Structure 1
Amino acid sequence: MEVCNAIESRRAIKVYDAEHRMTDAEIEKLMSQAMLSPTAWNIQNWRFVLVRDPEQRKKIRAAAWDQAQVTDASLLVVLTADLKAWGKDPIRYWRNAPQPVQDYILPAMAQFYTGREQMQRDEGMRSCGMAAMTLMLAAQDMGYQSCPMDGFDFDEVARIINLPSDHAIVMFVVIGKGISDPLPRPGSLSQEDVVVIDQFS
């Protein structure tokens, strides 16, 4: 599928074939694609929780206002951000770079993030947002449907998945075999509404 076709055909699907199972190879391919998503300073700060245990899915569904796609989609991905990834053995993000690049980038990265808690959180949101879009477009290319979600109790889901204290939940993406057509697009703004040239007036 062409990228433009995937973008144009992707819609948030809520109803899935609960009997369908994705293969391990398909899931591995999806995650490999997601891990090509860009991150600032190459810190790769996304952490993907693949919730596969049926009982765990039921608990999360209860924390997500009983939305059926949480249990019925083939795959539930909880996208979380490691807010301190920038400081965790950072040489691994640049191990293949020339030594002069490492000598410059590692101190610069530490200086950029140290003491900037909001920046660390913002960075996680940006990284996971891009990874979520990559996941959804890759799924579309593979013939699957998806749905991004933030309609859940973040604190309860954090408890269920035993989220580390230096991580933040960003969103869910469910992926599977959709069995309902999307509703017509409810209303799209024009480019005149959303594209600003040079500066706001």
Structure 2
Amino acid sequence: MDVMSAVQNRRAAKSFDPQHQMSAETRRVLLENAALAPSAYNIQHWRVVDVQDIELRKSIREVAWGQAQVTDASLLLVLCADLEAWQERPQRYWATAPQPVQDFLLPKLDEYYRGKPEVARDEAMRSLGILGMTLMLLAQDLGYDSCPMDGFDYAAVARLIRLPAHYAIGYMVAIGKGQDNAWERNRLPLQDWLIKNHF
């Protein structure tokens, strides 16, 4: 499938076939390719919790407004961000870059993030947004449906997945075989949201 078709066909599925099992190979292909998504400073802030335990899924569903996607999707991913990833062996992020590039970027990274927790969080969340969209388009290409989810108690899910203190949850993505439940798409016309040059 080409990218345009994946974008046009992707919908937020609200119910999934609970009997469908995603193969280990498909899961690997999906996740390894999603990791090619861009991220701020190539930090790859994402730490993705693949919730496979059914009892844990049931517990998450209880704090997610009872949404069936949590338990019925073939794959439930909690997209988390390591807010301190910028200072964790940062030289590894550009290990294949030319030395002059590394020499320039390493001090800049420290200058950009140190003492600025709001910048670290904002950048990590932007990176999670890109990762999530990449996951959903790849899922579509692989014949799967998906649903980004933020309708849940973040603090409760954090406790359930034992989220480290310096991490933050962005949102969840459910992926599986959607059942016929997509509503007709409703998008604002271009003139309602495209601003030329300035407001």
Q: Could you say which TM-score interval applies, normalised by the shorter chain?
A: over 0.9
Q: What is the CA-CA distance between 1:181 and the residue it aligns to?
A: 3.4
Matched, 1:192 2:184: no
Match of 1:82 in 2: 82
In 1, are the aligned partners of 2:73 and 2:177 still within 8 Å (CA)? Answer: yes
**CA drift at 1:21:** 0.5
1:113-124 equivalences under 5 Å are 113-124=113-124
Paired residue type of 1:45: H
Give the CA deviation at 1:55. Answer: 0.7
**Structure-to-structure mapping, 1:87-106, within 5 angstroms:** 87-106=87-106
Q: Is the 8 A contact 2:40 2:124 kept in 1?
A: no
Displacement of 1:154:
0.1
Cα distance in 2 for residues equivalent to 1:35 and 1:96: 17
Structure 1 position 126, deviation (Å): 0.2
In structure 2, list runs of 5 or more residues that go unmatched.
none
Cα deviation 1:40-70 (Å, max 9, x = unaligned): 1110101111000111101111110111110
Distance 2:148 2:102 in 1: 36
Q: CA deviation at 1:33?
A: 1.6
* Whole-angstrom CA distance in 2 between matches of 1:101 and 1:9: 40
CA–CA distance in structure 1, aligned partners of residues 33 and 103 of structure 2: 30
Give matches, 1:117-196, under 5 Å.
117-185=117-185, 187-196=186-195
**How far apart, CA to CA, are the structure 1 residues paired with 2:30 and 2:56?**
21
Q: How far 1:14 moved relative to its partner?
A: 0.9
CA deviation vs aligned residue, 1:67-111 (integer Å, no higher than 9, x gap)? 111000000000001111010000110111122211111011010
Q: Which amino acid aligns with 1:75?
A: L
Query: How does the TM-score come out when normalised to structure 1?
Result: 0.97
In structure 2, what is the Cα distance between the partners aligned to 1:191 and 1:184?
18
Contact 2:83 2:124 in 1 (8 A): yes
1:179 and 1:129 mapped to 2: Cα distance? 25
- Correspondence for 2:39: 39
Residue identity opposite 1:171 in structure 2: Y
**How high is the TM-score relative to the length of structure 2?**
0.98
Flag as ranges the 4+ runs of structure 1 deviating above 2 A. none
Matched, 1:24 2:40: no
Unaligned runs of 5+ in 1: none
